[in-house]
Amino acid sequence: MSTGTTNSQRVDQFYTVAEARFDRWRTLLQAARTWESWNKEDRANRETGQAAVSKSFQDLRQWEDFFAYPGPVLLKTLQERIDSNDATGTARLAQSISAALLTHSYRTNAGDWESEEGPTSLGDRLPRGSENGGHHRPYFEVLFVSPARPAVCLELAQDLRKLRRSQDKFVYEPVFVGNVEDAILGAILNGSLEAVVIYEGIPFASSHNSPVLHEFLTAHLAATGRADGAGQYALSLAKALKLIRPELDIFLLSDREVEKAAGDVSAGCIRRVFYQVEEPLELHLSILDAIQDRFETPYFDNLQKYSQRPIGTFHALPVARGKSIFKSNWIRDMGAFYGLNLFLAESSATTGGLDSLLEPTGNIKLAQEKAARAFGADHVFFVTNGTSTSNKMVEQALLAPGDIMLVDRNCHKSHHYGAVLAGAFPLYVEAYPLTKYSMYGAVPLRTIKKALLDLKAEGKLDRARLLVLTNCTFDGHIYNVERVMEECLAIKPDLIFLWDEAWFGFARWSPFYRRRTAMGAAALLENKFKDPAYHKAYEAQVKKFGEDLDPKDSKLLETRLLANPDKVHLRVYQTNSTHKSMSSLRQGSMVLVKDQDYHTVEEQFHEAVFTHASTSPNLQIIASLDVARRQMELEGYEMVNRAIQLALDVRREVNSHPLVSRYFRVLGADELIPSEFRGTGFVDYLTPGVNWATAVKALREDEFALDVTRLTLVCGSAGFDGTQFKNLLASQYDIQLNKTSRNSILLQTNINNTRSDIAQLIKVLVEISQGIEKKLAQGGKSAQQAFAARVKSLMEDVPNLPNFSYFQESFRENPSSITSEGDMRSAFFGAYREEQCEHVKLSSPEIDKRIKDGPELVSANFVIPYPPGFPIMVPGQVITGETIEFMRKLDVKEIHGFSASLGLKLLKPSALKKALHGKSATEEEKKLKRKTAA
């Protein structure tokens, strides 16, 4: 992820792709203008100017081979103008190209493809009429990987253009490359590519300067046997492209036995195989048809049609059709603000072109199937009440009372409530603390393995049904999802995983992050378990540790365990807040399922949907989920790349700015992930010497990685606590953000951000830094001392983060058990009886006395301070001195479940024994208790 400062000539600097391209063109333009400004008689300066322009042009030239615009003809014209000393003509053309690139106008404006001398030699240039009858006609590019000579390629390009018809919904331009490496470079560099046409007979190596990619491909393709046989790379290339961008449509043109190629089972990644000498028309239509497949949004399309029909409504939704609004004397402004379509598209009907979210059989079903394809899942459920609901649905569907759910205590509160609702016993596994920044990291795999092995030792492993982890965490810690699942499955082959990827849904569209998503890792494992080499490696493990692992063998914790590939059941669920990282309306969320035993829980799953989903789901949210999927399948790759690049820009600018960096710092991977979890030695994305290949290695191997788009900005060193700084940014600078800690704020880039946003942020930080400098200079020694004391208090006097203590013994089946799961539901409902509860003020001496001498203080409810936003007390938990100390030091105003005037809500000691055996325990739980006791 080098930002390109080290070697500007390398084309394989993938993290700077799009924006760096614009910058290169602006640099050329600037040089051309300077050249033009020199008087013709001033020969020395004119020559220097020409040389500078020539150099800028050469700097950008090699990247341009991977894009259709400006294309070989305009580039040639530009080169000729430079060579013929035409400064004015060069500046004019550079100006029009760079403006067209920046605004993307070349996608719709035929004029951008022409030099002033008239149309370029390609004649019928593309986007003429791409505004089709007033409708926007999306533009894309198609990569042709062909060994043919350039003249033949130009001819084919002409032929394809001639096939365009005015009724086409999309328009595309071809880009030609001649070898495997360039094809991969093209797919990575050019986000507008939507399809790749591969001809047989292509060579491997590129003539572009891409040493890092070359080394990477040589190592990786060599490992998988890079040629398909007889020096043919087509199929290997198709597979490699699908790994990078699974959404690309790939077509193979073969001049050999096409029937064989089409029948090859390993060619599933190829959409269609053509016989090379046949007409290009079929190919052209197939390309458009494939795009249509991704473009189609079954639910949204139908909703639009529905809204245009004259429908009389006699159902219970007065806003539908908008008549109660647009004719109103008093609320007409609502209609003016939202527009007519919103109301025309409202309905409570589930028929007549619409569908039912609760029991989809029509276009919602289709939309969900398309989403499943896009996200690499077997099934997708759209949810209109946020991931808070998605999580509870999954947990209710998979857990029965008494089941054990291993869960990060620091996870979103929906999971804790999910455990309460399902009656599952949470077994909290602790994330590593980042005390200095008052936040948690993620849960080490060792901790999870230990918990599973302990359960096994206690004979309770069969009850451990689900592992719930947040990936990535709020602060950007990404798990090595593949490894976590593999090693857990080694201990319990049918453990189910729920990855809460509320923040991380976009990651599917980054080739760097995909392997660390639930679905990406599940796909990797699926292949791995089929691999004969894996079976062999597993047999070797059996020889060492036996098939039935001994839970007391401490070596297991140090060993990278393999799962028994014949016994594993891959059961993976993911929830994501589509609204948090993609273009869905608020509350749009999805549940992704890749569970080989899904049929065994399908009924429960539907019950869970019925339990939690509204019977009046919001149609616009459903439609926006459909559209968000379309967008990600067509432009997610480009947008996510940009979000990552912008985040790297913020990191670099803040941390290297001479003034801003005195007070603020964006934390790197090394500061958020202890070195023991960065086995490859990866330090941070912007560390000198780090390139994308180093980052890929870290993403493959390290236990934790950092999502660069989540930026922890330390503000304590500027004398602000997180909340204070958040409020300052919001009230004075109109900058909104999400989360804060005692001494930091969390900024985030996403597919919505632009370079202007980043510039604004940096400008604001400069302004605030200048303000601090001024205040310190004007305030003299006393101000400086006060500032230093404030910084010390925020940065050094930080309270220890309290670990989960333990459930009070009434909520434990066996208090002497080494595993700590507890019956949280009984505690939760125990608190429903007022007479069983008491309140004690936080500052009261009674608290200290009871901590010292008893009886134990047992929380009656969840207590969740914001920040940090995790429950520092859960129902049934014994409150320790550490927790009280933390609570007393907390200086945040928002603490859910706690009223300062009433005090802590506790279960009375007299109520405790009753709680588990009283009415709130279900028959099943009682049975379970009796069984355990026996």
Which residues would be at the binding site for ligand PLP (CB under 6 A)?
A: 386-388, 412, 414, 470, 474, 500, 502, 577, 589
Which stretch of DSSP H or E encloses residue 746?
strand 744-748
Nearer to ligand PLP, 480 or 578 (CB): 578
Shortest separation between residue 469's beta carbon and ligand PLP, angstroms: 10
Residue 725 is which amino acid? F
Contacts of 699 (CB under 8 A, 6+ apart): 512, 513, 515, 516, 705
Q: How far apart are CA 619 and CA 180, in angstroms?
A: 45
Nearer to ligand PLP, 489 or 502 (CB): 502
Shortest separation between residue 414's beta carbon and ligand PLP, angstroms: 6
Pure H helices in 722-821: 722-733, 755-795
Q: How far apart are CA 677 and CA 322, in angstroms?
A: 57
Shortest separation between residue 589's beta carbon and ligand PLP, angstroms: 5
Give phi and psi for 167, each to the nearest 5.
Answer: -85, 0
Nearer to ligand PLP, 184 or 608 (CB): 608
Q: How far apart are CA 445 and CA 431, in angstroms?
A: 10
Shortest separation between residue 794's beta carbon and ligand PLP, angstroms: 24
Shortest separation between residue 508's beta carbon and ligand PLP, angstroms: 17
Shortest separation between residue 749's beta carbon and ligand PLP, angstroms: 17
Nearer to ligand PLP, 585 or 766 (CB): 585
Residue 577 is which amino acid? S
- Give the closest residue to 388 by CA, choosing from 617, 612, 602, 626: 612
Task: Give the three-class secondary structure for 565.
Answer: coil
Residue 837 is which amino acid? C
Nearer to ligand PLP, 178 or 386 (CB): 386
Q: Are strands 589-595 and 571-576 parallel, antiparallel or unpaired?
A: antiparallel
Nearer to ligand PLP, 577 or 826 (CB): 577
Nearer to ligand PLP, 387 or 861 (CB): 387
Shortest separation between residue 367's beta carbon and ligand PLP, angstroms: 19
Shortest separation between residue 502's beta carbon and ligand PLP, angstroms: 3
CB 673, CB 441: distance < 8 Å = yes
Nearer to ligand PLP, 302 or 414 (CB): 414
CB 273, CB 261: distance < 8 Å = yes
DSSP 8-state class, residue 793? H
Shortest separation between residue 474's beta carbon and ligand PLP, angstroms: 6
- Nearest-5° Cα angle at 651, 648 to 656: 125
Shortest separation between residue 504's beta carbon and ligand PLP, angstroms: 9
- Give the closest residue to 575 by CA, choosing from 589, 594, 595: 589
Which stretch of DSSP H or E encloses residue 88?
helix 87-103
Nearer to ligand PLP, 175 or 706 (CB): 706
Give the tokens for residue 509.
Answer: 């569209």
Shortest separation between residue 571's beta carbon and ligand PLP, angstroms: 20
Which stretch of DSSP H or E encloses residue 713?
strand 710-714
| DSSP per position, 851-891 | HHH-SPPBBSS-BEEETT-S-SB-TTBBP-HHHHHHHHH--
Nearer to ligand PLP, 298 or 869 (CB): 869
Cα dihedral across residues 667, 669, 670, 674: positive or negative: positive
Q: How far apart are CA 367 and CA 369, in angstroms?
A: 5
Pure H helices in 613-735: 619-656, 660-663, 669-672, 692-701, 722-733
Residue 316: other Cβ atoms inside 10 A: 8
Give the tokens for residue 853.
Answer: 């001498």
Nearer to ligand PLP, 475 or 633 (CB): 475
Contacts of 886 (CB under 8 A, 6+ apart): 799, 800, 801, 802, 872
Shortest separation between residue 745's beta carbon and ligand PLP, angstroms: 16
- Give the closest residue to 153 by CA, choosing from 71, 30, 51, 244: 71
Nearer to ligand PLP, 461 or 502 (CB): 502
Give the tokens for residue 122.
Answer: 């390609």
Nearer to ligand PLP, 271 or 739 (CB): 739
Nearer to ligand PLP, 1 or 502 (CB): 502
Task: State the residue number with the nearest CB to ligand PLP.
Answer: 386
- Whether cis (ω within 30° of 0) applies to the bond prior to 688 is no
Q: How far apart are CA 706 and CA 699, in angstroms?
A: 9
Q: How far apart are CA 537 and CA 530, in angstroms?
A: 12
| DSSP per position, 324-379 | HHHT-SSSHHHHHHH-HHHHHT--S-S-TT---SSS--SHHHHHHHHHHHHHT-SE
Nearer to ligand PLP, 438 or 808 (CB): 438
Shortest separation between residue 473's beta carbon and ligand PLP, angstroms: 7
Q: How far apart are CA 492 and CA 240, in angstroms?
A: 33
Which stretch of DSSP H or E encloses residue 410?
none
Nearer to ligand PLP, 29 or 393 (CB): 393
Shortest separation between residue 431's beta carbon and ligand PLP, angstroms: 12
Shortest separation between residue 607's beta carbon and ligand PLP, angstroms: 21
Shortest separation between residue 391's beta carbon and ligand PLP, angstroms: 6
Shortest separation between residue 392's beta carbon and ligand PLP, angstroms: 10
Shortest separation between residue 412's beta carbon and ligand PLP, angstroms: 3
Nearer to ligand PLP, 412 or 742 (CB): 412
Nearer to ligand PLP, 254 or 391 (CB): 391
Residue 668's alpha-carbon distances to 14, 191, 760, 774, in angstroms, are 20, 27, 22, 29
Q: How far apart are CA 246 and CA 298, in angstroms?
A: 21
Q: How far apart are CA 876 and CA 831, in angstroms?
A: 10
DSSP 8-state class, residue 316? S
